[in-house]
Every structure is written in C-alpha cells, then in structure tokens.
Amino acid sequence: MTGAQLPIRLLAPDPAATRALGERLGKAAVAGDVIALSGPLGAGKTELARGIARGLGVVGPVSSPTFILVAEHEGRVPLFHLDGYRLAGPEDALGAGLLDERRAAGVTVVEWAERLSAALPVGRLEIRLDGSGDDPRTLVCRATDVRHALLLEALA
C-alpha cells in the first residue's frame, strides 16, 4: 500500500474511552509517527492526546498547547504536542519551525491539524473527532501510508 487506507469509524461514549483509544495508539506509536487530529472545539482532541501521552509513558499533565503552539513531553520516545488553533495557515507552522526534522525523533500529535494542511507530512494518521458536551464522540481514522496503517491497526 502506498496511498491512503480506507477510514475506520470508532465510537467513544465518554472522555475516559477517548483517552483509552489514545493510550492504545501511544503504546503502538514509534518515533517518526504523526497523528493529525481535527474536529470542532470540545470534540476531544486534547483528551485523545492525553491518552496518547499515557501510552507513550509520559508522566505529568498534558494540556492543549494553544498559546505556546508546541509542548515537548518525555516518554519512551518524546511526544511533540502541537496546536494549530492560533495559526493562520500552513505557512505559519513552517515559519515557526513547528514541523521540522527534530520531530522525527518522537511522536508528533497535532491538534487542529486542518489548519496546517499542506505543512503536514504526507505520511500520517488522520483522526477526525466529532461530538460535544456529554454526547459520545465519533472518531473517523485514516492512515495515509503503510507505516501509519500499522498504527491504525492498534485501534481496530
């Protein structure tokens, strides 16, 4: 497989289930993986990122890096947690050096990935989260290459 994988749809009935899905991803992730999260405000992107961090062995709090743009956390491999909410477009991410070669040493999780579009690596796992409030969350997950298809299998 060289192109995109067919998407899978998952349901997370509550924030704990969203974190548990993320933890499965984090346990399967390896250095160089990119997980691109998109969806409306309050859909659970940060909850999923917290689960990924737990799966990577990150100790300590993980919050949305909205105002700092990128947070680095130490785990079995580094976690680079990016937030594109305040960026005007992909050129802002590239200009700020948010997606450079240093990210290959760890796992990169990008919240508001739709705002970085063309700046994102071609190979990635894309996860669209929908839902808000106390409603269950729907996650539509799609791998764009072979490596990330293996990561997607951790959720299937």
- Residue 2 included in any domain: no
pLDDT, position 6: 81
Rounded to the nearest integer, the mean pLDDT of the chain is 86
Which domain, by its residues, includes 15?
Answer: 8-153
CATH of the domain at 108: 3.40.50.300
What pLDDT digit, counting tens, does each position of 5-36 carry? 689 999 999 999 999 999 999 999 999 999 99
Pairing status of strand 125-130 against strand 8-12: unpaired
Burial class (CB in 10 A: 0-12, 13-18, 19+), 70: middle
8 A C-beta contact, residue 113 and residue 126: yes
Q: How far is CA 85 from CA 11, 79, 89, 104, in A?
A: 24, 19, 9, 22
Token pair, residue 128, equals: 């669209």
Q: What is the mean pLDDT of residues 126-147?
A: 93
Report the number of distinct structural domains present in the chain.
Answer: 1
Amino acid at 75: G
In which band, very low, low, confident or very high, does the pLDDT at 2 lie, cut at 50, 70 and 90? Answer: very low
pTM score:
0.89
